[in-house]
Amino acid sequence: MLKQRIITALVLLAILLPALFYPQPLAFAAVVLVLMAAAAWEWGRLNGCSFPASLALAAVCVGLCVASWLAGWTARPLALLWTVAAGAWVLGSAALLRAGVAGWPHIPQGLRLVAGVLGLWLAWLAAVQARTIGINFLLSVMALVWMADIAAYFSGRAFGLRFTKNKLAPSISPGKSWEGVWGGVVGVLCLGAAWAALDAHWGAAVPSFYSRLAGQGAGILVLGALFMACMSVVGDLVESLVKRSAGAKDSSNLLPGHGGVLDRVDALLPTLPLAMMLTVLVA
């Protein structure tokens, strides 16, 4: 299994890194578009669609992305869109987590499918906008999710095993603990402070997400990083809720050793649009 995970990771890096560092955002946008199409197919399968219907859902997702690309949305601030998206994520996820696994099947299938496609489209649009701003900005947002996940894992193991482990959402994701959440938050705050300091020290041509928040004061940086870290956890929990409702361990087996695309991007789905909203508001 470990060998398979490593091989898959190396293949993904061989595709993503050249696209990321290509002088123009076009290559990165195309690669992420393929990933979001695959995620839309997985979303259809998790929500009871047949194989052809899931492919049609992927085509709709691609159509939305391409239409917004051709309309020039990837280079516009879109303050209203990002604000609405942020509100939908915060309120929608709160309602979903409150209802729990049992509440998911009671939501009409059509509404679930539409919400999923819109979420994937918004994540694609936010990712391409972030890459258009600059590589330093995009990586700073993605690193936030990675840090939250890594710090939560080690913190959860260290403190959750040493002390009484306080489950975060046992009916949705039994492995997650409050110790892990707070460890992830501390990790993100440290990352944000260090990244902003390095931007200032090296005179970064393109400010990172953290530098843009820090430009409005240390308090804004702390609040923004805290909010993003929490929403990263929420994205993970929402996908776990959907998978548990569907009786699935992974969203698919498209990425051998890693599960599916949704398993890898779940925390990015809310954080990318939220990062764009905060960036627009502090600009």
pLDDT of residue 229 exceeding 70: yes
Please return the burial class of 194, using the count of CB atoms within 10 Å of its CB with bins 0-12, 13-18 and 19+: exposed
| Residue 248 scores a pLDDT above 60 | yes
What pLDDT does 5 receive? Answer: 73
Cα distances (Å, whole numbers) of residue 111 to 82, 98, 104, 106, 265: 20, 18, 11, 11, 21
Q: Tell me, what's the pLDDT at 168?
A: 81
| Band (2; pLDDT cuts 50, 70, 90) | low
* Residue 164: predicted pLDDT: 52
Most distant pair of Cα atoms in the chain: their distance: 54
pLDDT of 53 reads 97
- Give the DSSP letter string of the chain: -HHHHHHHHHHHHHHHHHHHHSSSTHHHHHHHHHHHHHHHHHHHHHTT--HHHHHHHHHHHHHHHHHHHHTTGGGS--HHHHHHHHHHHHHHHHHHHHH-GGGGGGS-HHHHHHHHHHHHHHHHHHHHHHHHH-HHHHHHHHHHHHHHHHHHHHHHHHHHHHS---EEETTTEEEEEHHHHHHHHHHHHHHHHHHHHHHHHHT-SS--HHHHHHTT-HHHHHHHHHHHHHHHHHHHHHHHHHHHHHT-SSS-SSBTTTB-HHHHHTTHHHHHHHHHHHHHHH-
Tokens representing residue 49 in the block: 């669609």
- Centroid of chain to Cα 230: 12
Rounded distance between C-alpha atoms, residue 134 and residue 126, angstroms: 12
At residue 159, the pLDDT reads 67
> Which of 15-19, 136-140, 173-177, 277-281 comes out lowest in average pLDDT?
173-177
| Average pLDDT score over residue span 175-201 | 91
Mean pLDDT of 189-215: 95
Q: What is the mean pLDDT of the chain?
A: 91
Report the pLDDT value the prediction gives residue 165, as an integer from 0 to 100: 63
pTM (2 d.p.): 0.94
Instruction: Provide the pLDDT for residue 116.
Output: 97
pLDDT tens per residue, range 48-102 = 999 999 999 999 999 999 999 999 999 998 999 999 999 999 999 999 999 999 9
- So what's the pLDDT on residue 283? 64
* Spatial separation of the C-alpha atoms in residues 220 and 31, rounded to whole Å: 33
Residue-level pLDDT at 258: 81
Average pLDDT over residues 111-119: 97
* pLDDT for the residue 170: 81
Q: What is the pLDDT of residue 181?
A: 87
Does the pLDDT value for residue 161 go beyond 60?
A: no
**CA gap 233, 22 in Å, rounded:** 31
What's the whole-number mean pLDDT along residues 143-171?
A: 77
Share of the chain above pLDDT 70, in %: 95
CB neighbours of residue 234 within 10 Å: 22
Which two three-digit tokens encode residue 6? Answer: 């490593």
In this prediction, residues 242-252 reach a mean pLDDT of 93
* Phi/psi of residue 174, nearest 5 degrees: -60, -25
Kindly state the percentage of the chain with pLDDT values over 90.
77
